Amino acid sequence: MAAKRHHDGYGQDDQPDDKRVRRLPSFSTVIREAMMVKQMQNVFMVLEPLLRRVVQEEIQAGLIRSPRCIERSPETPPAEAPMWKLAFRYPPQLPIFTGSKIEDANGNPLEIILVDVDTGLPATPTPTLQQALRVEVVPLFGDFPPENREEWAAEEFQQRGIVKERSGKRPLLTGDVNLTMRDGSVAVNELQFTDNSSWVRCRKFRIGVRVVPGSFDGARISEAMTDAFVVRDHRGELYRKHYPPVLADDVWRLEKIGKEGAFHRKLSSHHVRNVQEFLRMLMVKPDELRLILGEGMTDRMWEVTKNHAKTCAAGDKVYVYSAPSGTIYVNSIFQLVKVEFAGVECPVQHLNRHEKIYVHQLLLEAYEHRNNLEEADVVTLHCTDVPLLQNAAQVASFPAMADTPLWIQNSQEIDFQVDDVPQPNFSLQWTGQMFNMAG
């Protein structure tokens, strides 16, 4: 009877000896091998850049030592320095608001001129420059060029300097942005920003001018640019200060006085509503004006406000106020122009203390009647005849002081703001004193 066969084709006793079951590696062995592989990868990552640099240096050193001549492409020569450049004759007037016409510091349209790079003087006309130049006015970033460089390439000016308008907005600069320059100059009659500068990284703009690319066949003409400035929203123009202010300006146009602010309300309650009234009170009653503003205005703020107000032009108008024994002439802000006693003109610098007190009393009276003063004839004021000696001798004494005490009477020294009027000098003897009389 045949013996039974096993399913695997071998009997229990006839399996080969070399076919033994291999044991699986232990867990610790697997972890150790994985860590070794990871360490080798880290080593290769660290060594790779070092090996690359060493190989590159060795190759370069070998090329230098090699006797063979290696052909190289010629280097690009540096760009030739421009002989001419565009420039603004005068800087723009600040501050600048959106939608407002941009003018130069003198209140005239911006003017672009062509100048010599070396001398800064207007360029000498040449056959090349006599042709009409097409120029373009462009908005620039306030921090261009980087590092405050004075030179830049035309491509850098185009790519890194010019500001593009925000998405969905109008062009940033509108007006006469494309011009034709003839004889080395051109005026920009209309120019305004349509957007403020708060959204750019440096918060400032510049105005730049360049020759339209491709329109000029000669050597490169360098671009022009203004200093960096802030462009404010047009709503801020309603509250901006005026430099210098004018007499009819609201008083809040002065520095440190805000529209509808505490100082503005205090001044308005005392009928000081414009710059002229502020200056009149400053000349006649400075202490009272200072008290109106109160302690909220510091001494430093007060000096800033006064200095700003004093930049206002007084104008040519002269007003006259007469009393029984004296007449004073003042300008629009109550600076003394002329003083007369009994028809005799007396220079203010020669008045004694008693006479100065009387003149100041006349100033106070004139100030109280400032709305009813008569305007003097300026021609007659400058052409007064020399008075007779007997007319001068008639002034024996001044009227008694007013019963109401004046703050000026207790001061040691009285100074008047005098409007300088050049007049010829004459000498006249009057009651024992020598006066320089203007005739």
pLDDT value of residue 379: 53
Share of the chain above pLDDT 70, in %: 73
Classify domain 84-235 at the CATH class level. mainly beta
Mean pLDDT calculated for residue range 79-107:
87
> In this model, does residue 304 exceed pLDDT 80?
yes
Band (429; pLDDT cuts 50, 70, 90): very low
Q: Where is average pLDDT lowest: 117-126, 181-190, 322-331, 414-423?
A: 414-423
Q: Which range among 226-235, 278-287, 381-390 shows the weakest confidence by mean pLDDT?
A: 381-390
User: pTM score, two decimals?
Assistant: 0.47
- Rounded to the nearest 10 degrees, the angle between the axes of helix 275-284 and helix 286-293 is 120
Q: What is the pLDDT of residues 2-45, one digit of tens each?
A: 555 554 444 444 555 555 556 677 777 778 887 887 777 777 77
pLDDT of 412 reads: 45
Q: Please give the residue that has the higher pLDDT: either 72 or 185.
A: 185
Q: Write out pLDDT tens, residues 331-384.
A: 999 999 889 887 788 888 888 888 888 888 999 999 999 988 888 876 555 544
388 vs 248, higher pLDDT: 248
* Domain map (residue ranges) of the chain: 84-235, 241-309, 318-438
